């Protein structure tokens, strides 16, 4: 692999790693990857999906032994299955959203791309990622030589269909088709027919395929679950998006409502609105309005509370 310089990013984001909507479970039984997947789908939700380094720590903390264990990552060979990703979690490949004013540094130390990524994650945040961040570093006077950015492509996907771009490979990845978590915390590929312990995850949100007004949805979730869902970071956003795809209505209700008395949006869970994903043209601050998400979309829109949609409840 070509050696080069690279640019990293140091950053902070409101509520980015708070309040995960899923939990991990270490299963200390030896199974093939396919058998492990079937077990997880029967007992929990699926084999574990990992979105960032915080998830990695949670995964490691759930482990009862130092044995290698299956995750939900698998290789999907085929010329048309290669997908481009950004290294920094939470960014889609074509994401053009404005990013906060972050701090960047040029590391004048030649490394391979994978080692540069590990260096950035160990010592800072990640390799520079996203079009907005690349535009911000134009005035950095980067080195004259080529330097790495956080863009890569691969054929790996997650068992549950999630679009997480997070990878934590050991430099010696291997050329097999299923991903194992090593005792070091990094990943390697292995033959899917090997028998290993494994990680499942349990989703903490549920799609209710009943048509209700916003108030009726709030009452239903409060009685049967743990309230209408709140979204406080991009990871939660993606988990809710996945569930919303299976809705029977064009939109699904979220637990966000506009208060005319306070003149602000608030979550029914009383969490701060420090993350949002509004469609700029669909945010209407008016009495008797609440937030919904379009089925198959990702943006929040304002809808009259009397409209009847499916909705998503929190389980914990």
Q: Please, are residues 136 and 99 in contact by the beta-carbon 8 Å criterion?
A: yes
Phi-psi region of 136 (alpha: psi -120 to 50; beta: other; left: phi over 0): alpha
Tokens for 201, please give them. 């995850």
Domains recognised in the chain with CATH numbers: 1-203 (3.10.100.10), 204-314 (3.10.100.10)
What does each of the 316 residues of the chain score in pLDDT, given as a tens digit?
344 455 554 433 333 334 456 789 999 999 999 999 999 999 998 999 998 888 899 999 998 888 999 999 999 877 677 888 888 876 666 554 545 556 778 888 888 888 898 888 888 888 888 887 887 777 665 556 778 888 888 899 999 887 788 899 988 778 899 999 998 899 999 999 999 999 999 888 889 999 999 999 999 999 999 999 999 888 788 889 888 988 999 999 999 999 888 888 999 988 778 888 999 889 998 899 999 999 988 899 999 999 999 999 998 7
Gap between the terminal Cα atoms of the chain: 46
Residues with Cβ within 8 Å of 217's Cβ and at least 6 positions away in sequence, in order, are: 208, 228, 253, 309, 311
Residues with Cβ within 8 Å of 258's Cβ and at least 6 positions away in sequence, in order, are: 264, 265, 285, 286, 287, 289, 290, 302
Residues with Cβ within 8 Å of 138's Cβ and at least 6 positions away in sequence, in order, are: none
Which residues share a beta bridge with 303?
290
The SS3 of residue 84 is: strand
Number of C-beta neighbours around residue 286 at 10 A:
9
């Amino acid at each position: 692999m070509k050696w080069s310089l690279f640019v990293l990013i140091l950053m902070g984001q409101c509520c980015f790693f708070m309040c995960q909507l899923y939990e991990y479970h270490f299963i200390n039984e030896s199974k093939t990857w396919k058998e492990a997947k079937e077990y997880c789908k029967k007992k929990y939700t699926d084999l574990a999906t990992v979105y960032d380094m915080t998830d990695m720590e949670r995964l490691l903390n759930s482990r009862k032994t130092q044995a290698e264990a299956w995750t939900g990552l698998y290789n999907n060979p085929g010329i048309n299955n290669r997908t481009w990703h950004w290294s920094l979690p939470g960014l889609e490949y074509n994401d053009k959203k404005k990013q906060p004013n972050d701090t960047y540094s040029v590391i004048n130390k030649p490394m391979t791309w994978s080692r540069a990524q590990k260096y950035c994650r160990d010592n800072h945040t990640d390799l520079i990622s996203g079009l907005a961040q690349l535009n911000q570093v134009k005035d950095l006077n980067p080195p004259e030589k080529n330097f790495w950015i956080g863009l890569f492509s691969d054929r790996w996907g997650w068992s549950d269909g999630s679009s997480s771009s997070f990878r934590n490979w050991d430099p010696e990845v291997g050329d097999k088709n299923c991903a194992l978590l090593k005792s070091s915390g990094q990943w390697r590929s292995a033959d899917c027919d090997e028998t290993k312990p494994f990680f499942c995850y349990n989703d903490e949100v549920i799609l209710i395929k009943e048509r209700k007004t916003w108030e009726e949805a709030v009452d239903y979730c409060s009685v049967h679950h743990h309230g209408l869902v709140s979204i406080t970071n991009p990871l939660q956003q993606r988990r809710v998006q996945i569930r919303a795809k299976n809705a029977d209505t064009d939109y699904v209700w979220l637990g966000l409502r506009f208060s005319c008395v306070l003149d602000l949006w608030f979550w029914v869970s009383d969490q701060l609105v420090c993350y949002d994903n509004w469609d700029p043209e669909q945010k209407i601050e008016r009495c008797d309005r609440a937030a919904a998400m379009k089925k198959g979309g990702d943006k929040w829109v304002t809808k009259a509370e009397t409209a009847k949609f499916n909705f998503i409840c929190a389980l914990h």
